[in-house]
Amino acid sequence: MSKATLAVIAAVSAGAGAAATAAVYSMRSDKKPAVTTTTTTVSTTSSASSVPAPVPASQVFSSSPTITTTTTPVPTPSTSPTAPVNPAGLFEYGFPGPVADLASRQALISSYDRRTRNPHWVAEHITPASLAQRGGDRKNSAFLEDPLIPDKFQAKLADYFRSGYDRGHQVPAADCKWSQTAMDETFYLSNMCPQVGEGFNRDYWAHFEDFCRRLTTRYPSVRVVTGPLYLPKRDPADGKWYVKYEVIGSSAPSVAVPTHFYKVIYAEEGTAPGGKVALGAFVLPNAVIPNDKPLSDFEVPLEAVERASGLEFAAKLPVARRKRLCAETNCSIVVKEYVERQKAFAKK
């Protein structure tokens, strides 16, 4: 890792923003990278103040929820008669994984991470028509454990109880007012991650979600992929880089608290196939962010999010069809106090 790269990461903090932190993943160097170790801090109670390609609409708005268990293909065992061992014999007892619980619901499509009890990613589709409809009411929705996830890998309601963190929607309920069923689906814990409440989930993050909705005033189709990140931070004591995050839970803490969150936005200029797509990638720290912080400070190259998450978001989108979102439109939030926003929501 080059000195310039290290300097970029070292400059990042909750106050300075997350753009530089994620940008490190888009940089290349022929030098030997610094050693990175991983640690996990476990806590049963805490205080947050202690501080693939675009999905077709036909899939996003399917009529009934489905789930697909995706596993890595099982290797074909060697047929060499001289081999004294058969490692593939293990598969007689089952395949260890990893497994991605891919769920397709009316409101969203998600991939679940059984290890962190958080989603890998959650995809949604919003349009002027979907936002104009009022078939759902948040007052009729309730947070639920996801029955499509095997019980031993589920995030539990009790895991969040008195944790100091909000159950932070990845696909917001406000994007799914067009149907009560769709809105209800956003309340499954498989669509949640622990988020800092005051100053983030109830403030800057909410304004960011509103920015995504406002894009539909210019674009007829907007797709958003949201998910957590666990990024390294340099320890000033020894100069080494560590991935360190809290884990919350009731009797057996198991739900990871992400250090950051990303959104990849696809603003489609038309509804016909083959049109231009304005792409935007953003990384925000899971921390209090002042409302006067420019949203553009959190814009990063798409490759940065891919390197940090291990995912690919536009492998089938030709470069010739791509535009940079923040060069096409004003990437900024409109600040509205959370309490006032909740009151306005209740009246609708």
CATH number at residue 338: 3.40.570.10
* 29 domain residue, yes or no: yes
pLDDT at 15: 45
Q: What is the mean pLDDT of the chain?
A: 83
How is residue 191 written in tokens? 């669509």
| Count of domains observed in the chain | 1
Q: Residues within the annotated binding site?
A: 201
pLDDT at 81: 74
* 228 domain residue, yes or no: yes
* 161 domain residue, yes or no: yes
How is residue 34 written in tokens? 């610094």
Which tens digit of pLDDT belongs to each residue from 192-227? 999 999 999 999 999 999 999 999 999 999 999 999
Q: Identify the domain containing residue 127 by its residue range.
A: 3-68+99-347
Inform me whether the pLDDT recorded for 27 exceeds 90: no
pLDDT at 58: 41
How is residue 65 written in tokens? 């929820």
Per mean pLDDT, which range of 6-10, 166-170, 304-308 is the poorest? Answer: 6-10
Of residues 120, 169, 207, 260, which has the active-site annotation? 169
pTM of the model: 0.79
Mean pLDDT of 252-269: 96
Inform me whether the pLDDT recorded for 18 exceeds 80: no
In 3D, which of 313, 332, 306 has the Cα closest to residue 24? 306
- Residue 319 contacts residue 279 (beta carbons within 8 Å): no
Inform me whether the pLDDT recorded for 301 exceeds 90: yes
Name the β-bridge partners of 246. Answer: 41
Q: Residues within the annotated binding site for Mg(2+)?
A: 201
pLDDT at 32: 41
Top pLDDT among 347 and 111 is at: 111
Phi, psi torsion values for 204, nearest 5 degrees? -60, -45
Which tens digit of pLDDT belongs to each residue from 148-168? 999 999 999 999 999 999 999
- Residue 150 contacts residue 156 (beta carbons within 8 Å): no
Please spell the DSSP secondary structure of 298-332, one letter per residue: GB--HHHHHHHHT--S-TTS-GGGEEEHHHHS---
| E strand or H helix at 7 | helix 3-10
* 17 domain residue, yes or no: yes
C-alpha distances (whole Å) from 269 to each of 86, 218, 244, 279 are 54, 8, 40, 11
Q: Binning pLDDT at 50, 70 and 90, where does residue 288 land? A: very high
Q: What does the alpha-carbon distance between residue 252 and residue 259 come to, in Å, rounded to a whole number?
A: 21
* 309 domain residue, yes or no: yes
pLDDT at 239: 96
* 316 domain residue, yes or no: yes
* 192 domain residue, yes or no: yes
Q: What does the alpha-carbon distance between residue 187 and residue 22 come to, in Å, rounded to a whole number?
A: 28
Question: Is 207 an active-site residue?
Answer: no
% of the chain beyond a pLDDT of 70: 74
Name the β-bridge partners of 265. Answer: 224, 280
* 61 domain residue, yes or no: yes
